[in-house]
Structure 1
Amino acid sequence: MNPPLLDRPLRVLRACLHLLVAGLLGLAAGAAVVQSAAHAGAVVASAAVLGVVYAAGAALSRVGRTAGATAVWLAALDATWLVLLALTPAGVYLAFPLFFLQLHLLPMRPGLLAVAATTLAAVAGFGWHQGSLTFAAVIGPALGAAVAVGTVLGYQALYRESQDRARLIDELTATRGELAAAERTAGTLAERERLAREIHDTLAQGLTSIQLLLRAAERALPQRPDTAAEHVTLARTAAQDNLAEARRFVHALAPPDLDDRSPATALHRLCATTTAQSGLPVAFDRNGPPAELPAPVEIAILRIAQSALANAVQHARASRVEVTLSYMDDGVALDIVDDGIGFDPAALPAPGNAGGYGLAAMRARARALGATLSVESAPGEGTAVAVSFSEGAP
């Protein structure tokens, strides 16, 4: 099968070859009639038979596709050509299209042998008609054979190059498809990780707070209904905040805590809410004059603080937590320090296990914005989470 790039040139070459054969057959027959050759009738008949044999091969689909049919057709064509060559010296010109057919339809080695045999037959026939073997009788068919061989070899080289190029294009297309699939997979995984962080930092923590408040209300309900009512009120407020977070999450808007507020104000409110809901004293302090920060940095500061405070409430058994937001000349830093039981950072569970998303989500948020996040802790020594955003962070 030929590459699509070579289909049209090949059709043109075949048409030219058909016209060449027809023209040379007409020349041989016409020359015999005009010159009133002794065997003019036989020459015309031989040329007609050769034309019929050639046309039959061009019309039969098996010729060129099966080795047996191709060999039989070429043998019949060569035999009728030899008859014509024996009758008229003009038959030597038909050797040229025969060269192309033999090289095109036969494998390279048999094709070259057939061309050599046809060349010898052409030289011998032309010399026999001339009565002597001259230099012109030898060089003419030899040059024709050389031109045919060079042309076919050039076409085959072009064919191989076209095949290689088509194969390369197919490989590039397949690679581009694989790359697109990999990019889609990477995008899906990144989006899944983002959703996991958002759910952990917002909805999951809000639902945990509601659960703790309702559990406290349940314990206080028989003897202290006023206290239970306060817990229920806080749970309802937390539910409202969580609903706002869910709506923001769906519509991909800014966190409600940051609406019309600075990060310092949002953190102050977060600390107060955490204290009210959990009973854990959380102090907030701001250092330096406030500066305008990019929205992604403000969101990351609030989310990291939410996650760190949730860890302190649920796991640290701390008696106090301090949150500090520091505005500096080259950026902003957030520190969350508790005096709890601490832990071994190297022994954290992998994300996906219980409690495995908190620090991983904080690190991912910081890494996405080019920030540095460090966690210092040891059993019995409390925990310090520090994240630093440099100036110019997105």
Structure 2
Amino acid sequence: MSHSALTPVFVGLRVGLHVLIAGLLVLVLVRLPALPPPAAAAGLALVVVFAAVYVSSAFVRRVPEGWRRLAATVWVTVLALVWVGLVILVPEAAYLAFPLFFLLLHLLPRWLGPVAVVVTTAIAILALGLHQGFSVGAVIGPLIGAGVAILLGLGYRALAQEAAEREALLAELLSTRDRLAETEREQGALAERARLAREIHDTVAQGLSSIQLLLHAAERADPDRPGIEHVRLARDTAADSLAETRAFIRELTPPALDAGLGEALRRLGEAQSTPGGLRVEVETPPSLDLPMDLQTALLRIAQGAIANVRKHARADRATLTVRKDGDSTVLVVADDGVGFDPGAVAAGPGGADSFGLRAIAERVAQLDGTLDVDSAPGRGTRLTVTVPARADGGVA
């Protein structure tokens, strides 16, 4: 479905072209009785053929994409040949050259369209001259029509290109909106899982651990007292419940972060390093006391950045650094690869090379952070992500 605001313009132009051709064919039919019977019959046949070929354009539009350009070229060539035969018989058929100009410019390759318009103009001038005698009007009229057609054809092509760019931009915006919504759902789920893990750890798990310690103390204080077997049973039950609770906490925590963000990043560096190829070095503080949703987001950003380095940078060495900077957390990914022009990527059509960087930027923006990309062709890339944190430990 087209979302372009220019769609009504294109529809109006197509309808106008159809009406113009239909009106000119009616004019040719009206002029046929004035011709000798053999010529009138041949002209009528050519009008029918011209109309049939023109209507068959509906089938050309259904041709598979890879063959559509060839089919359109064949179609407009056949239409032009039928017109040549018609204009030889009926001089008024020369006026069909004007709508034919637009079809030639639109359907033929860029360099062939104007050439075809020039040839068509020459045929129209020659036909009018042979039928009605050469005059200034018979020559100037088709020339002016051809010039106007070329200008309008260029304008139509520019409008079509703008419409295609708008359509691509809108599709990218819709895709970005869907990715943002999915990221928001993912972040919400991760934040809720992390909150539940913290709550269970700080309440249920701590309570069960305290109960187990108290029961241990009671058992050691008087191991021969009556009912001690119930104390042991309660202690075992508390131990089992504590083990299950810790299992729930591990399930709620992302597996890659079960040993913390620093260890997850080190594992990422080891997994992405290859003998004789890319070497990923990781530098992190001994401990990173960050909320689980922030750890998850930074891990995903690091994974995306290292994936971009492997795919596009052709680097020998990459460094992945995490540090605290006041109330903010800073993630830096640098490489010694071929680099790129960040401005060109930002202004590009959104191909596969820029998708990873856009995904990182979207994730950073959702965290209210900042992304700085320092790169240039031939001198590597340095990507710096700064994410603030609230006083309560959540992501800003």
Q: Greater Rg, structure 1 or structure 2?
A: 1
Q: What is the match of residue 153 of structure 1?
A: 154
The 2-side partners of 1:26 and 1:208 are apart by: 95
Instruction: Give secondary structure in 1 for the equivalent of 2:19.
Output: helix
- Going from structure 1 to structure 2, the CA distance change for 1:182 and 1:133 (only over 3 Å counts) comes to same
Q: What is the match of residue 370 of structure 1?
A: 391
- Going from structure 1 to structure 2, the CA distance change for 1:58 and 1:349 (only over 3 Å counts) comes to closer
Matched, 1:45 2:66: no
The 2-side partners of 1:177 and 1:97 are apart by: 43
Question: Which runs of structure 2 are paired with 1:228-377 in the superposition (5 Å)?
Answer: 370=391
Q: What is the match of residue 197 of structure 1?
A: 198
Instruction: Give secondary structure in 1 for the equivalent of 2:134.
Output: coil
Aligned pairs, number: 245
Cα deviation for residue 219 of structure 1 reads: 1.1
The 1-side partners of 2:170 and 2:83 are apart by: 44
Aligned to 1:58, which of 55, 59, 64?
55
Cα deviation for residue 120 of structure 1 reads: 1.0
Cα deviation for residue 351 of structure 1 reads: 8.9
- Going from structure 1 to structure 2, the CA distance change for 1:173 and 1:22 (only over 3 Å counts) comes to closer
What is the TM-score with the length of structure 2 in the denominator? 0.51
Using the aligned pairs only, state the percent identity.
46
The 2-side partners of 1:184 and 1:79 are apart by: 60
Letter in 1 for 2:100: L
Matched, 1:22 2:18: no
Matched, 1:87 2:77: no
Q: What is the match of residue 212 of structure 2?
A: 211
8 Å contact from structure 2 (residues 49, 82) kept in 1: no
Cα deviation for residue 70 of structure 1 reads: 4.2
Letter in 2 for 1:50: V
8 Å contact from structure 1 (residues 123, 137) kept in 2: yes
Letter in 1 for 2:50: V
- Going from structure 1 to structure 2, the CA distance change for 1:213 and 1:123 (only over 3 Å counts) comes to same
Q: What is the match of residue 182 of structure 1?
A: 183
Q: What is the match of residue 127 of structure 2?
A: 125
Letter in 1 for 2:188: G
The 2-side partners of 1:224 and 1:348 are apart by: 46
- Going from structure 1 to structure 2, the CA distance change for 1:185 and 1:100 (only over 3 Å counts) comes to same
8 Å contact from structure 2 (residues 31, 90) kept in 1: no
Q: What is the match of residue 114 of structure 1?
A: 116
Q: CA-to-partner distance for each residue in 1:110-154, whole Å, 9 max, x for gaps? A: 2211111001111222223343342x2222112212222222322
8 Å contact from structure 2 (residues 125, 139) kept in 1: yes
8 Å contact from structure 2 (residues 17, 99) kept in 1: yes
**Unaligned stretches of 5+ residues in structure 1:** 247-345, 353-362, 373-394
- Going from structure 1 to structure 2, the CA distance change for 1:16 and 1:218 (only over 3 Å counts) comes to same
- Going from structure 1 to structure 2, the CA distance change for 1:43 and 1:70 (only over 3 Å counts) comes to farther
Instruction: Give secondary structure in 2 for the equivalent of 1:108.
Output: coil
Letter in 2 for 1:370: A
Q: What is the match of residue 267 of structure 1?
A: none
Once superposed, what is the RMSD of the aligned Cα atoms? 4.1
- Going from structure 1 to structure 2, the CA distance change for 1:153 and 1:350 (only over 3 Å counts) comes to same
Q: CA-to-partner distance for each residue in 1:337-390, whole Å, 9 max, x for gaps? A: xxxxxxxxx8669899xxxxxxxxxx9xxx987379xxxxxxxxxxxxxxxxxx
The 2-side partners of 1:349 and 1:60 are apart by: 66
Letter in 2 for 1:177: D
8 Å contact from structure 2 (residues 105, 150) kept in 1: yes
The 2-side partners of 1:349 and 1:72 are apart by: 68
Matched, 1:142 2:117: no
- Going from structure 1 to structure 2, the CA distance change for 1:170 and 1:79 (only over 3 Å counts) comes to closer
**Unaligned stretches of 5+ residues in structure 2:** 246-284, 292-326, 328-387
Structure 1 stretches of 4+ with a deviation exceeding 6 A read 1-4, 223-226, 346-352
Q: CA-to-partner distance for each residue in 1:189-233, whole Å, 9 max, x for gaps? A: 32233223222322222112211111111112246779x9xxx7x
8 Å contact from structure 2 (residues 4, 166) kept in 1: no
The 2-side partners of 1:144 and 1:347 are apart by: 79
Cα deviation for residue 4 of structure 1 reads: 6.5
